[in-house]
Structure 1
Amino acid sequence: MLRRLLSLGAATALGAAALTGAAAPAQAAACSSTNGVTVVVQSSQGTQVRCASGDPSSAWSALQSAGFSLTAVQRFPDALCRIDGYPASDPCVNMPPASAYWSFWHAPNGGSWTYSQVGIKGWNPKPGSSVGFRFGSGSAPSTRPATVSAPAPTTAAPKPTAAPKPTPRTTTKAPSAPRPTSQAPGGRTTAAAPTAPRSAAAPGPSAAPKRAAAKPSASASASVSASASATASPSASESSDVVAAAPEGTDGGSGGSSAGATDGSSLGRLLGGGALLAGLASAVAVVGLRRRQAAASV
């Protein structure tokens, strides 16, 4: 009975091992996004999957960025001899044999392996792609290339801005002529009344300003008085003529009275004529004074 149980257990273990060997190879997923290159290294010692961050310039740089140490062939520096010291039996002087060398493969994001026709230092992998290396006779890595997604944007997309509204066109008015102002009492400013322009025609006669009649000057009064006095006082010869012209009467008394009457009437006429002359002189003086004042005001 025990032997049957042991036989059954061994058969189960063999079946599980067969199922494990038939399972699909593991997928390389070291890089979580397209910000890097996935590197797969497979040998008899195992399979390692790492991520070379950023955008390496070549497959050689991707291996070094992923943390692998590399040894080139001495006579062919562009050829790869060892990865992490494997195989230690190769002195790395000449090219390794076709049955024991590191074959180089590359694949796009989510694609399949392709044997590289370009040297390891001449291939520039794109971010998100995979590079694979397998030691042996030139078989592809058993691990599938990585399938990664683009990284989510870290910043929100900018919102579209509305088109700027057209600004209204402003029209400028011609500046108006400033109105003349005059300062009014109390600090107020009032607009001065516009003055009519003078016409080319000759101005009409302007009325002379009314002024109070000026009194004649002392010199005018003195001249008028002198004229009146000279006219009023008859000379001695005129008196003697009047007296001689009087008719002589028989009566000395009557003759004297006639002469006195004649002298009185002559004296009255002389005084009246002197007053008339004085009035005319005053009028002439006043008219002359007004004319001088009118000429001075113009």
Structure 2
Amino acid sequence: MTDAPVDLPGWTHVYSGKVRDLYRPEDARPGAGGPGADERMLVVASDRVSAFDHVLSPGIPGKGVLLTTLSLWWFDQLAGADGGERVPNHLAPSHVLTLGADGEANTADDLVDLIPAAVAGRAMVVRSLDMLPIECVVRGYLTGSGWKEYQASGTVCGIPLPAGLADGDRLPQPIFTPAYKAPMGEHDENISFAQAEELVGAERAAKLRDTSLAIYRRAAATAEAHGLILADTKFEFGLDDDGVLTLADEVLTSDSSRYWDASAWAGGGTPAERMASFDKQIVRDWLSAHWDGAGAPPELPAEIVERTADKYRELLARLTA
């Protein structure tokens, strides 16, 4: 694996996903209740990039910092900086974000001292949560796998949609299309709302749906004010010690969301021109054209790596300007 987890003083590595590495304090007491160091965790965003369930080589330089900076900015907005209602999140209580003149994230509190220098800028100190096994996907526009399903059946994740929609069209209203978070190494599975209710209960499933849709609408309005379209996104939630539904992991980043340029989308042209996204779509397109899916994927060319990094940087600059 490229950009493998590193040994960090004061922290013990416990898990790695395709992009993020998770650490517990060395002195943590698993299962112990009450406040203390054992409730804190360190989430580190790597420069790894994945596509089609493979981690690719090389990574995207600076990607971990860009993802973390954007997540922190969005957590800050959703905590009330945008004037809206506060959405509880998993950041440790005193983890306060400011953005410097250079656009870099600064944390002005004692938690900075807990983040080792080796991962500075790409790590968040968070509270441990009881994570729910559902990815909360919200789609405001028809594209990707949803477009493929719509062409075949007129539905997206089983939800009927009006006839006559085209790839990239705005939906009459955003839709909630949950997925089951499969164990590591397996594919996440799109599920119906009824299946979500079976997994977490009817009341909690409704809360997940309503909260996800409310956050999407709020974020889409913010993106629109910066000349961007938030086509779709996914959220993850957990429960804190008091059972409060809490936003976790990353939020509204280039890895978890599909952003388009609003002017390009409105200007017509080919689907590729209208829906050029600020994420790793460049990587997916190149890989689709140069790999048949058999064996190990080829190494990414330097030009593809740099173009992808440029897109991540551009999105951060435009949203936080």
Interval of TM-score (by shorter of Structure 1 and Structure 2): under 0.3
Higher relative contact order (CA 8 A, sep 6+): 2
TM score, norm. by length of structure 2? 0.22
TM score, norm. by length of structure 1? 0.23
Larger Rg: 1
